[in-house]
Structure 1
């Protein structure tokens, strides 16, 4: 039986070629980074440096557990957010039903480290990828795999590969519903039912286990408009599931209903949690960014969630930003402008520009108590590969050599810029590190 094994990650050699590590570092195992006594504020690490605050990660994990207990839903957090098997393992330990992945490449990473239940929220296309899935299912009987399908063509391809590979158990598939102008997914009920009937006809090589989709792209200028459009899409997904149930198209086991990115998961639990079918239902959310949250877009989205669901305040303070990227002020070349040592290679910018959070003037004896907030009059106006353009007021205290912490918007595209990210306590002591596999 395969079990989660992070030994190879813990033994990974950190040296000066790893981004974020000191230039005088003799190779050490990643597991030993917390023994070095490093502190970000004492300048023990070169900047830029991405760090995660351990207290915020723990807070976010506990908050999500309370939410799931209150709603009866399960979670299969999307691994593409962090691509860190160490964080996957933490999420599984916290009770995650599965880990979601977005590609067969990501599936290979998760399987390398022994993750048993994986949901590919995408279509597995291409002979090499399809054969890998079949062979992995044959080699490991405990491997519990699910994937999306949205066409009769793909159903035929998957069933043929399973048949030719002499797979002795079915590939478990989930019909994906979509919407016009969106990504993958069946656009109509008739199309979805045709795919489901093809899956049924492909027995014993395929088994229909549920219905899913992704609602996160259905955003409108006004929150109420967004909620209304998302509600309509979720109703469509339920119509697919109800139609499949009426025609007895589902395979053995409970019916899986899955959606829910990190924006509208409350609407998913509300809709799917009230569904009635001929057999038990498992509602599976796929929020990926809850564990790190952010300092911009998800802050606003969570406030909208609170407005829709006043009861979540009973769960305690909401998610906190765990991910920060630190940089130096490197130049004050003209009035009203500072340049900092962070850029597109280091920090996300696809959703919104980084948010300056706090600053510190390094020196002997400085601690977290010396951190000072940066006001909203300090604004990032642009990023180059290695430079951040910061608009500052005439009264700004920032000087060359000062340290600035940035909050990010959209964690996914900060994680993918770092092979190793240090984990710090609230005093910014480095206590551990995670490795990513992008």
Structure 2
């Protein structure tokens, strides 16, 4: 007798709704907790709306259409993405407004966007920061009779992309103006590359410069729309950008758009620390974001006293900004599930598919036990999975969420 396994049966961490995470799911698995997820979506939408801005969450964090849908239903203005392929994936799942916070380069990528722009309901914006790119885009889209919305990216010296001076921005705007196939619709920046002891001051100065440039471009008649977009903000300093835009009344002349992405899942590492700083700066915010993302795995081996090998590795969890954080231990198959605190344990290294963990005194483990791990930098955890599992308070699977990396 032969049998055929479905894709769902063999995909890492896949499961059908209604099953128990501790009893029925092949681990490791990417786990999203519904209560925390829903809280985060509501929290950030309210924060941005109360700041007089619009929210375009950065979808590259999760590339999970089920999360895009929830964010848009909660009031998001659009979805931010990083590439033409990501844009096409989001469009295929119903997203009709995309802010591509990146330059559109290469004719195959331009072709992908041109195909999508055949739909008049699709609202798309991309960044430019160099005359060469402006010329290439102008020629490509003019040949197809399509007008492309572009925004100038303004950067910082030693940072990532973007014009390095206000003068470069003004000169680039004039280059765009002579391209009939391009429409200058706003200005964009990314403050997350500003670091150091005086980062807060530097970010505020950067935001002020961004607004000042937007005003000058508008006064010079270089924008193609009446209310241009001004946008910045990653997931660490969004409060400073919101305050700067609001203080300079940017939303009066412009459509202010904030783009945090990691908030939807949050984490137990770098963004947890960043959120603590936000709450310190904003005494009016009494509650912050909650970690919604975990990776669950089995204790695989106990080869030495005080040392455990976990069936979890670089192919399952981010390790660029801190190693996984042990949270709770569950007994496999025991329902209702009860977790025991194992946060005193510590992951010391990860290999391709193994994690080394010191076992704290008083913590008793056996092979096969299940441990939930917090992560740092959710972007690089999501992209290791084709499926994430949304679970309720009982740790029953509610939904299998497909990713589109």
Normalized against structure 2, the TM-score is what? 0.95
Instruction: Say whether 1:367 aligns with 2:360.
Output: no
Match of 2:88 in 1: 108
Instruction: Say whether 1:358 aligns with 2:354.
Output: no
Report 1:94-243 matches (<5 A).
Answer: 94-137=74-117, 139-167=118-146, 170-202=147-179, 204-220=180-196, 222=197, 225-243=198-216
* Stretch moving more, 123-132 or 411-420: 123-132
Residues 143-182 of structure 1: CA distance to partner in whole angstroms, max 9, x if unpaired? 1110111011111111111211122xx3111110111111
CA distance in 1, matches of 2:248, 2:138: 30
Instruction: Say whether 1:347 aligns with 2:317.
Output: yes
> What SS is found at the alignment partner of 1:398?
coil
> What SS is found at the alignment partner of 1:106?
helix
Match of 1:406 in 2: 373
Instruction: Say whether 1:81 aligns with 2:49.
Output: no
Shift in Å at residue 21 of structure 1? 3.5
CA distance in 1, matches of 2:251, 2:238: 24
Q: 1:14 to 1:428 in 2, by over 3 A?
A: farther
Shift in Å at residue 279 of structure 1? 6.8
Residue among 277, 282, 285 paired with 2:258: 285
CA distance in 1, matches of 2:133, 2:249: 29
Contact 2:48–2:258 (CA under 8 A) maintained in structure 1: no
Match of 1:271 in 2: 244
Instruction: Say whether 1:54 aligns with 2:47.
Output: no
Residues 281-314 of structure 1: CA distance to partner in whole angstroms, max 9, x if unpaired? 111111111111111211110110111111122x
Residues 106-127 of structure 1: CA distance to partner in whole angstroms, max 9, x if unpaired? 1111122232111110000011
Q: 1:56 to 1:131 in 2, by over 3 A?
A: same
CA distance in 1, matches of 2:154, 2:97: 22
> What SS is found at the alignment partner of 1:306?
helix
CA distance in 2, matches of 1:39, 1:397: 24
Residues 165-220 of structure 1: CA distance to partner in whole angstroms, max 9, x if unpaired? 122xx311111011111111000011111111111222x31111111111112232
Match of 1:245 in 2: 218
CA distance in 2, matches of 1:227, 1:198: 33
> What SS is found at the alignment partner of 2:285?
helix
> What SS is found at the alignment partner of 2:349?
strand
Shift in Å at residue 14 of structure 1? 4.5
Contact 2:53–2:256 (CA under 8 A) maintained in structure 1: yes
Shift in Å at residue 235 of structure 1? 2.2
Match of 1:428 in 2: 395
Contact 1:147–1:173 (CA under 8 A) maintained in structure 2: yes
Contact 1:67–1:312 (CA under 8 A) maintained in structure 2: no
Residues 75-115 of structure 1: CA distance to partner in whole angstroms, max 9, x if unpaired? 11111011111111111111110111101111111122232
Contact 1:134–1:161 (CA under 8 A) maintained in structure 2: no
Q: 1:386 to 1:155 in 2, by over 3 A?
A: same
Q: 1:345 to 1:184 in 2, by over 3 A?
A: same
Unaligned runs of 5+ in 2: 1-5
Residue among 305, 325, 340 paired with 2:295: 325
* Stretch moving more, 147-156 or 230-239: 230-239
Contact 2:45–2:55 (CA under 8 A) maintained in structure 1: no
Contact 1:257–1:284 (CA under 8 A) maintained in structure 2: yes
Q: 1:271 to 1:122 in 2, by over 3 A?
A: same
Instruction: Say whether 1:18 aligns with 2:11.
Output: yes
> What SS is found at the alignment partner of 1:235?
helix
Shift in Å at residue 236 of structure 1? 2.4
Shift in Å at residue 64 of structure 1? 1.3
CA distance in 2, matches of 1:329, 1:413: 23
RMSD of aligned alpha carbons: 1.7
Normalized against structure 1, the TM-score is what? 0.88
Q: How many residues align?
A: 400
Q: 1:253 to 1:128 in 2, by over 3 A?
A: same
> What SS is found at the alignment partner of 1:400?
coil
CA distance in 2, matches of 1:245, 1:375: 53
